A and B are shown apart, each in its own frame.
Chain A
Amino acid sequence: MTRLEVKRSMLASIVPGLASLGKKGLAGWLVVIGTLIVVSIVFMTLIAPWITPYDPSTRGINVGRPLTPPNPQFPFGTNDLGQDMLSRTIAGGSVMLQVAVLSVIICIIIGVPLGLFSSYVGGMLDRTTCLVMDSVYAFPGLILAIAIAATLGRGVVNMALSIAVVYVPSYFRVIRSQVLSIKETPYVEAAKSIGAKNRTILFKYILPNVVPSIVVVATVNFADAILTAAGLTFIGLGVEVDIPDWGWDLANGRRLLPSGVWWVITFPGIFIILLALGFTLVGEGLSELLNPKLAER
């Protein structure tokens, strides 16, 4: 199968799925709209190398006169280095998306097993983990991320790590509260009474019922990670200047804004908000759709 065919078959399976979601009322539509926003931005970022009119990296310096306002040649204007803002906006999501995906993966790898085991086993282990998690949770998230990022240094992986540390407690708390209630349900008791081992109970009876909440937390986590990543780059803890990035442009644009240059900050800003909004919509919609009580109807 060629790549195009794969894409086509994926589309074919996604589109009817989305269409049927629309029938589930407002929540369904939130998911549909959110997914459309996110997918289009991701797609735009992926094909950026082929569609950007100019090179968005440092090699594209002085393609136009610095600080040209939006005009037919540069629809989004240029920045103080003379780079095309349209090209930078098209390509600038890549770092953020990488950071967000990576941080969500790290969070799931650490937070989910921790939440499952700690709350299932209970006792001292649970109390200690809770204490640690709560103290991390109590910290203002962005400040903690900044502190960690400053220690670890620049780079996509380090940004993802510093964001993950902030979000692991959210996963932990959500999973823990779920496991604590599922643990007491008759069907877990029924599993015990048929002689199921703890491992079986955890993975066949508890985990499948926690997955919906994990999905919801992950989407919210995505949205927050985007904003935090933007924040980290904004204060200079992000990536090298060379790589086009909305966060970097945001910081740059803020510097230029007082002198009346509004276009450098506006367009990347809109896209950050759009991306975060997309993930939030998906999260809100899913949390309603996956709520087991509502699903019963």
Chain B
Amino acid sequence: MSDAFYMRWREMNRTEIVRVENLKKYFPVEKSFLEKLLTRTRGFIRAVDDITFSVLRGEVFTLAGESGCGKTTTGKIILGLVPPTSGRVFFRDREITNLKPEELRLLRRRMQIIFQDPYASFNPRMKIGDAIGHPLEIHGLASGLEKRKKVLSMLERVGLTPPEQFIELYPHQLSGGQRQRAAIARSLILNPEFIVADEPVSMIDVSLRTTIIDLMLDLKRELQLTYLFITHDLAVAKYISDRVAIMYLGKIVEMGEKEEIFSNPLHPYTQALLSAIPVPNPDRKRRIIELKGEVPSAIRIPMGCRFHPRCPFAEEACQKEEPELTVVSASHLVACHLAKGSEHA
């Protein structure tokens, strides 16, 4: 089977689980009383600024970018934790933006989240066993002995053994890695299909990261999960993802199969980002692509291509017209005037 054919075959046989269309989230800027009196106009932080993508069943789709690029907000909008300003989110072809609270509650059984900070994502006054079993109770799925049995088997599944011991502990009695395992257990106890993992390993010690990532990948295979993985760490993204979307200032600038993004990055921002990642090899002297300045504020996003003030290759067109995310190959999209140009050449 040729590569191209395989790709098409896979595309045809894989169904979308989540689709995001023209999603926007603008947060109003908090102003002081005096400013409110003096100015009429209201500033907005354009955290997420018109993004469209879909996540396929059974894949790991990664949203990657620097802090403040809107990746976490996107994840929370999909889960209904933050209402979008505009745009639509579909879960298995059913629109889930603006659901009624009761419908949203039911949806929670099918999509879950793992948070970044394993220290803060547990109620300090609730035992681990109660916290993990709580979702079952809330949804009336199990209680008493049955709940206990489910919690025990889930704890065992995420590697917190002996589970009888962990069930009685309070969060502060667990190490960071153990807490993140417990958080994974809590997110899986309702048997969801779709998991948003928001930087699940960035606060975990280096020597433990791999175990957490491998656990997540094992569980994915075993329970047929789909992950939306959010990270700032492209090295981790490369290890775990099937497809990657790179975000810059609220927009997706490049998206595609992992191999495409990492071996043939087309957007200058992706190239710079990749070149800046430290490589664990003292013999390898790499060339870092220099970007001018730093990420501008999301309140005053530059005109035209939002990356042009920092782009080493910016041309006149870049200042005027905002590039659209366009297909450059079957599994690769990029939002850059120059990348398109090079495609024609």
Residues of A within 8 A of B (CB): 185-187, 189-197, 200, 204-205, 208-209, 292, 296
Contacts and interface: CB of A to CB of B under 8 A. Distances in A.
Contact of B81 (A185, A193, A208): A193
Contacts of B123: 187, 191, 204-205, 208-209
Contact of B108 (A189, A193, A296): A193
A206 to B, nearest CB: 9
A194 to B, nearest CB: 4
B134 A186 contact: no
Given A194-B190, A296-B172, A209 B113 contact: no
Contacts of A186: 115-117, 120-121
A193 B113 contact: yes
B108 A190 contact: no
Interface in B174-229: 183, 186, 190
Contacts of B120: 185-187
14 contacts: A185-B120, A186-B115, A189-B121, A190-B113, A190-B121, A190-B183, A190-B186, A194-B190, A195-B108, A195-B109, A196-B134, A200-B138, A204-B134, A205-B126
Contacts, number: 61
Given A194-B138, A195-B135, A200-B138, A187 B121 contact: yes
B125 interface: yes
B327 to A, nearest CB: 34
Interface in B118-175: 120-126, 134-135, 138-139, 172
A184 B134 CA distance: 20
Contacts of A196: 134, 138
Contact of B125 (A190, A200, A209): A209
A195 B124 contact: no
Interface in B13-47: none
Interface string B98-119: 0000001110110011011100
Interface of B: 79, 81, 104-106, 108-109, 112-113, 115-117, 120-126, 134-135, 138-139, 172, 183, 186, 190
Nearest to A196: B138
Contacts of B172: 296
- List of 9 A-B pairs having minimum Cβ-Cβ separation, nearest first: A195-B108, A194-B135, A208-B125, A186-B121, A195-B105, A186-B120, A186-B115, A187-B123, A193-B113
B124 A194 contact: no
| B interface secondary structure, majority | loop
A187 B122 contact: yes
Q: Which of A194, A195, A205 has the largest number of chain B CB atoms within 10 A?
A: A194
Nearest to B76: A189
Nearest to A211: B125
A224 B285 CA distance: 70
Contact of B124 (A189, A191, A192, A209): A209
A38 to B, nearest CB: 26
A196 B136 CA distance: 10
A108 B135 CA distance: 31
B121 A194 contact: no
Contacts of A205: 123, 126
B115 A189 contact: yes
Nearest to A187: B123
Given A193-B112, A194-B190, 13 more contacts: A187-B123, A187-B124, A189-B115, A191-B123, A193-B79, A194-B112, A195-B106, A195-B108, A195-B138, A196-B134, A197-B138, A208-B125, A292-B124
Nearest to A192: B81
Contacts of A208: 123, 125-126
A187 B120 CA distance: 6
Contacts of B126: 204-205, 208
A186 B121 CA distance: 5
Q: Which of B81, B112, B123, B124 has the largest number of chain A CB atoms within 10 A?
A: B123
A187 to B, nearest CB: 5
Contacts of B116: 186
B123 to A, nearest CB: 5
